[in-house]
Amino acid sequence: MENFRKQIKISFFNPIIHFLPLLLFLVTAMYAGRTVANYVSIFVLLVSAVYVFIAYNQIFIWFFLSCVIFLAVNIVGSIIRLPIIFLSFRPLLDEALTLVFLGGMMLLQKRIKKGIMALIPKTLPMNNNLDEYFGFIRTIFLIILGYVLATGFIYAFPTQRETAYLQLVQAIYVGILFFVLVFESLRVQIIRARLLKEEWLPIVNLQGKIIGSVQHQASLGEKRKFMHPIIRVHIIQDGMILLRKRPADDLSYPLHWDTAISNHIRMGETVEDCIKRTAQELYGLTELKSFFLSNYITHTDFEQHYAFLFIACKMNKIDLQSEKVKQAKWWTLQQIEENLQEGIFTENFLIEFDLLKKSGVLENNICDCACKLKETIFKAPHLFR
């Protein structure tokens, strides 16, 4: 569960951390001068860098980009501060440079996103992070732009109350920044809490090892297809196989006949727990004795599957009329053989039916603890156990 929480935090990184040193520099310089601002902001930058490196090392290179932006604003501001012509506008120089850098990032948004995606491990879901990142850039760009325009107007049209007006604008500016920082932090925490309640799926490699995770709906919308682990359990009794017709709104095989029990393994869930949960949800089965048969990899239009194939038998009463099962029935081997070419079965089932025949379980009507399968889950625990 702890790894799951960490994955959620990585997939929804707080964008404030990227720009906190820069914003602290701008505000501190306004009240205490650039020297103090440099000490404060660089200290915060180093603390933030250490924190991100320890807690979010997989995306540290992304945070490093924000560090470069801050240092660039600071260095360029120091270089051109002395020879600047419009001396009265010198206090706005750092804000103006910040607007230039942030504006450039917004113009180059697609290229920057592409570059970041190339540097970050492909197993990490970054769409949310990058959307939040550039959304926050737009927000602080507008806030700083409003401050620069208001302050510039006061400088351009001086009055006897110029100092009071400047202090008022600065107070409003700092107040808005503070509100945005607090609001964004709370919003990120709320979203993370909500994401923990959503269905997250492990991402696995060709060996079935977990290498990441992604929210299920987000995975379906990705251009690249992630590989997720699934369970597939064939219920066999008296030489017949129980098959379930997939619902009409199924993304991959609507209204096709398929194994009785199939589901995605959730993040933090074991193979056994997934089987128990699915059997309970579909048929009300509280006890289901299943035995591992094989693994295989398959593809759909939206994702790849690393399948754990099991057989089960000798069960208690099974409810074939449950709310989640629209249609299910027992099939004899002859009925299945006669319909193999009719296009009514899923591709997964066609693969599995061949494996079942090769195992000898179907022909010999053997389904107990002594059946000679390739291996059972008890003898060869898997990475999800």
Cα–Cα separations (whole angstroms), residue 12 to 51, 195, 350:
16, 9, 40
Helix (DSSP H) and strand (DSSP E) numbers for the chain: 13, 9
Contacts of 199 (CB under 8 A, 6+ apart): 215, 216, 264, 266
What's the CATH superfamily of 204-364?
A: Nucleoside Triphosphate Pyrophosphohydrolase (3.90.79.10)
pLDDT (tens place) for every residue of the chain, 385 residues total: 555 666 677 777 889 999 999 999 999 998 998 889 999 999 999 999 999 999 888 889 889 988 888 888 888 877 776 555 455 555 788 898 899 999 999 999 999 998 988 888 766 767 788 989 999 999 999 999 999 999 989 888 888 898 999 999 999 999 999 999 999 999 888 887 877 777 788 888 888 888 877 777 767 766 678 899 999 999 888 788 999 998 888 878 888 999 999 999 988 788 999 999 998 888 888 778 888 888 999 888 888 999 999 988 766 667 666 666 778 888 988 899 999 988 999 999 999 988 888 777 766 655 554 444 444 333 433 444 3
Q: Is residue 209 within 8 Å of residue 385, measured between CB atoms?
A: no
Q: What pairs with residue 262 in β-bridges?
A: 232
Cα–Cα distance between 263 and 173 in angstroms, integer? 52
Q: In the beta sheet, which residues pair with residue 258?
A: 244
CA-CA distance, 82 to 79, in Å (whole number)? 7
Number of residues in the chain: 385
């569960």: which residue's tokens? Answer: 1
Three-class secondary structure of residue 156 per DSSP:
helix
Q: Residue 178 and residue 143: Cα distance in Å, rounded?
A: 11
Q: For the whole prediction, is pTM greater than 0.75?
A: no
**Domain spans in the chain, listed from the N-terminal domain onward:** 2-197, 204-364
In terms of Cα–Cα distance, which of 55, 188, 56 is closest to 124?
A: 56
Determine phi and psi for 37, rounding to 5 degrees.
-60, -40
